[in-house]
């Protein structure tokens, strides 16, 4: 795409024209630091994760807020879309990963197993597996459909 999104401790998401460098939109609604942003595969939606415990979904063209995803008990540190764009995954300091329906905003799964803050989340290319990384020094692989933990990868020392 031709748009770049940035997250900031000023509580905003900014959308920029990649070719000209011009600021296109300033997305405001978060109450605290915005930690991460991600575009949907079709480029039409931006997801943002914040210390205010929410994930927000935005229309990339208009800047309008589409959904507020609430459920995490602590800061949300990472966000990712599934390859088909139908699911949003979020990772939080509350030790959970949550899967959300991108269209309705409904919570689909809560993935529990990490023993410390979860800092990163990603989908496999086929969308069937979610990977998460935590301060508990593990990477966990989850079944995206059922929420079941598939693997715990250990070995990192920090």
pLDDT tens-place string over residues 82-127: 999 999 999 999 999 999 999 999 999 999 999 999 999 999 999 9
Q: Please, which residues bridge with residue 27 across strands?
A: 13
Question: Out of 1.10.3470.10, 3.20.20.10, 3.40.190.10, 2.130.10.10, which CATH number does the structure's domain 3-114 have?
Answer: 2.130.10.10
Whether 36 and 7 have beta carbons less than 8 Å apart is answered as yes
Q: What does the pLDDT read at residue 155?
A: 82
Alpha-carbon distance of 34 to 53, in angstroms, equals 10
**Mean pLDDT across 24-38:** 97
- Using alpha carbons, list the distances in angstroms from residue 156 to 116, 133, 138, 141: 14, 11, 7, 15
Enumerate the domain spans of the chain: 3-114
Predicted confidence band of residue 1 (pLDDT cuts 50, 70, 90): low
**Mean pLDDT across 19-33:** 96
């Amino acid at each position: 795409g031709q748009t770049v999104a940035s997250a900031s401790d000023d509580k905003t998401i900014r959308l920029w024209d990649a070719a000209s460098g011009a600021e296109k939109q300033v997305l405001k609604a978060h109450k605290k630091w915005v930690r991460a942003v991600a575009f949907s595969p079709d480029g039409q939606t931006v997801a943002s994760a914040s210390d205010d415990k929410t994930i927000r979904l935005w229309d990339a063209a208009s800047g309008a807020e589409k959904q507020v995803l609430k459920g995490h008990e602590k800061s949300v540190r990472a966000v990712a879309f599934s390859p088909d764009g139908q699911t949003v995954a979020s990772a939080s300091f509350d030790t959970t990963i949550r899967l959300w329906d991108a269209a309705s905003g409904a919570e689909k799964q809560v993935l529990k197993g990490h023993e410390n803050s979860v800092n990163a989340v990603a989908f496999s290319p086929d969308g069937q597996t979610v990977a998460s990384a935590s301060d508990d020094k593990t990477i966990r692989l989850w079944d995206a459909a059922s929420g079941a933990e598939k693997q715990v990868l250990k070995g990192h020392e920090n």
